[in-house]
């Protein structure tokens, strides 16, 4: 079974636009779980332009499924994660001013750094996942860091899905098989949506989890949150 983790960053973006507490980020997280999501993802950035550190602390006792915190493991992020102790941490090489995640790690260039970070989180009992492009060689190197999983960066799949979906998904099939052979779990995320998710799930083996935020929250404006989550879960059957 492939789990759905809902990234609620965009809910926080909307709330922050007015500086008050509507919509309520904590309530939305609880609703997502009630409606069937198997996880909640947040990506706190240094400028706190959407999810704030305070949100992360408030969410920790509320999330009953899997709490996944993703971000660039700079010292402030590492300290936050170690204090909050989520079920999973996803390491993403975001620049501080990045609008959104736009590439996987160069594992070879960051091997020592990532190995030390992974060890620190695993010592704290936190499952680790490293954000990677669908490159078998990078995945083999990721396994050497001691990480538990990789998260496949799926933008290239989404970008080329309507041109040639078989060609678009092929690198992810190979990447997932490679990860499985290396003993790694497989997550995926970025620009997955109701249009392209079913095919991705059908083709990519060993898929443990997808993390979806922007598209899902956008769909919820039209469909409602309960119906949106139902449809995404249907894609993952």
Report how far residue 79's alpha carbon sits from residue 22's, in angstroms, rounded to the nearest whole number.
Answer: 28
Q: Is 137 helix (H, G, I), strand (E, B) or coil?
A: helix
Backbone angles phi, psi at 106, to 5 degrees: -85, 95
Contact 151, 189 (CB under 8 A): yes
Residues involved in catalysis: 43, 70, 190
Buried b (16+ CB within 10 A) or exposed e, 34-57: ebebbbbbbbbbeeeebbbeebbe
CA distance readout (Å), 52 to 25, 49, 69, 110, 214: 10, 7, 12, 27, 17
Token code pair at residue 146 = 């001691």
């Amino acid at each position: 079974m492939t789990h759905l983790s809902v990234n609620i960053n965009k809910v926080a973006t909307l709330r922050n636009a007015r500086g008050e507490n509507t919509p309520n980020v904590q309530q939305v997280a609880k609703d997502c779980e009630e409606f069937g999501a198997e996880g909640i993802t947040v990506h706190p950035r240094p400028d706190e332009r959407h999810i704030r550190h305070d949100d992360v602390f408030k969410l920790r006792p509320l999330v009953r499924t899997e709490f996944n915190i993703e971000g660039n493991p700079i010292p402030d992020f590492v300290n936050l994660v170690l204090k909050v102790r989520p079920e999973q941490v996803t390491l993403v090489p975001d620049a501080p001013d990045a609008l959104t995640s736009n590439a996987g790690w160069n594992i070879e260039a960051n091997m020592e750094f990532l190995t030390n970070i992974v060890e620190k989180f695993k010592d704290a009992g936190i499952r680790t996942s490293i954000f990677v492009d669908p490159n078998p060689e990078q995945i083999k190197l990721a396994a050497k860091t001691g990480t538990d999983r990789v998260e496949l960066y799926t933008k290239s799949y989404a970008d080329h899905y309507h041109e040639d979906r078989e060609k678009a998904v092929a690198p992810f099939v190979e990447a997932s098989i490679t990860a499985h052979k290396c003993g790694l779990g497989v997550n995926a995320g970025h620009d997955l949506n109701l249009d392209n998710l079913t095919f991705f799930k059908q083709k990519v083996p060993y898929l443990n989890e997808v993390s979806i935020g922007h598209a899902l929250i956008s769909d919820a404006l039209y469909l409602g949150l309960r119906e949106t989550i139902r449809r995404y879960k249907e894609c993952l059957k």
